[in-house]
Amino acid sequence: MEKNSSTIERRIKPANGILVLIILIALLLISVGGFVFGIVSIVGNAGTYGYYDSMTGITTVRGGSIAGGVLLTVASFILWIFTIICFPGLRIVKPNEALVLSLFGKYHGTIYEPGFFFVNPFSTAIYPRKRDEDAANAMAEATKNNQTTIVRIPRKVSTKLTTFVNGNQKVNDKLGNPVEVSAIVVWKVVDATKAVINVDNYVEYLSSQTDSTIRNVARLYPYDLMSDDDDTNDDADEMTLRGSATQVAEQMKAELAQRVENAGIEIVEVRLNQIAYATEIAAAMLQRQQAVAIIAARKKIVEGAVSMVEMALDKLKSDGVVDLDEERKAQMVSNLLVVLCGNKEANPVLNTGSIY
């Protein structure tokens, strides 16, 4: 498909604004001076049509002086109008800003270098239309409150690093569980021409594309592994939203960068700001997590208790402290496991008689 020529960025190098300003001020003074001198010349010769030279006997007509004054006045007025028309061509571009210009409805060029410049006075800045709407709303609000205010519309495109905080998005993960995900996007405009020509409002465009990207990527992964035994699960290496937040954010960055490339936006970084179960299932999932934690803790306790009992029996046998038959060993093991694995402190019971 053939590209539109208006979207191909053209960087222009305008004239030095200081030099042009000096020239315009000089022309303005010259035009005012010439206009005044021409009026004075016309008025001074208005009532005299000529004079008689008695030495030569020749009569000289002064109509030429009046005509010269008229021509000087008209020329000075035209020069004054030209100078006034050129003044709007003086533009200031601050650091990390870009000025996109159009001339008679066509794309003219973009200025990225900061400084004071002179451009074609008939060129106009291109900027998002929403700025006009915001200014109109601000004026309407001020008029409604009987206030007088001056609303300035930003006509340049900022190329600074900007942080966009996406709101919580409720999406379904790979397992169908509703989760809430929000992201922080660090971005900047690298092609101001595309930003103002290809899309209506590049900030809103970035917002909508971020929402779509989060939904599209989050549904590819589960929030967490559902198996109670994650260590032995065959899918233990599977990426999850909670455990692989960095990798998921990198995938979101790659997809989002591709989506907003046509708007002249570069995605510098994407970070997941919040990942949590939705409120309707948060309580149930919390109970599940607590159950998994309790089971894991019990497993460790039982493993440690069995190890301690085994060590105690081996120590008693090796030191020859007591020789227990299988029945007494089983009773001792049972008692030790109850003491070591119980939730509450055990109350000892002393046997004063024979153990048999």
CATH, residue 271: 3.30.479.30
pLDDT band of residue 34 (cuts 50, 70, 90) is confident
The amino acid at residue 95 is P
Whether residue 227 contacts residue 235, with contact meaning beta carbons closer than 8 Å, is answered with yes
Flag whether 31 is in a domain.
yes
Domain end among 40, 69, 93: 93
Q: How far apart are CA 206 and CA 228, in angstroms?
A: 40
Residue 94 pLDDT exceeds 60: yes
Domain end among 260, 277, 294: 277
Residue 181 has φ and ψ, to the nearest 5°, of -130, 135
Both 272 and 336 in a single domain? no
The model's pTM is: 0.66
Specify burial of residue 299 (Cβ count, 10 A radius: 0-12, 13-18, 19+): exposed
The pLDDT of residue 284: 64
Per-residue b/e over 126-158, b at no fewer than 16 CB within 10 Å? bbbeeeeeeeeeeeeeeeeeeeeeeeeeeebbe
Residue 301 pLDDT exceeds 50: yes
Q: Write down the mean pLDDT value for the chain.
A: 77
Counting residues of the chain whose pLDDT is more than 70, the rounded percentage is 71
Interior angle at CA 242, CA 239 and CA 243, nearest 5: 50
Flag whether 24 is in a domain.
yes
**Strand, coil or helix: 45:** coil
Number of structural domains the chain divides into: 3
Residue 58 pLDDT exceeds 70: no
Domain end among 93, 111, 133: 93
Both 224 and 190 in a single domain? yes
Flag whether 142 is in a domain.
no
Both 265 and 208 in a single domain? yes
Flag whether 253 is in a domain.
yes
* DSSP E strands, the chain: 15-16, 50-53, 58-61, 90-93, 97-103, 106-111, 115-118, 123-125, 157-158, 162-165, 169-172, 178-189, 265-277
Q: How many CB atoms lie within 10 A of CB 77?
A: 15
**What are 214-241's pLDDT values in tens digits?**
888 888 888 777 555 544 445 556 777 7
Query: Which among 129-143, 209-223, 295-309 has the top mean pLDDT?
Result: 209-223
Flag whether 123 is in a domain.
no
Flag whether 330 is in a domain.
yes
Specify burial of residue 311 (Cβ count, 10 A radius: 0-12, 13-18, 19+): exposed
Both 316 and 226 in a single domain? no
Q: Which of 168-182, 199-213, 230-244, 310-324 has the lowest average pLDDT?
A: 230-244
Both 328 and 249 in a single domain? no
Q: How far apart are CA 194 and CA 189, in angstroms?
A: 9
Residue 297 lies in domain: 286-341
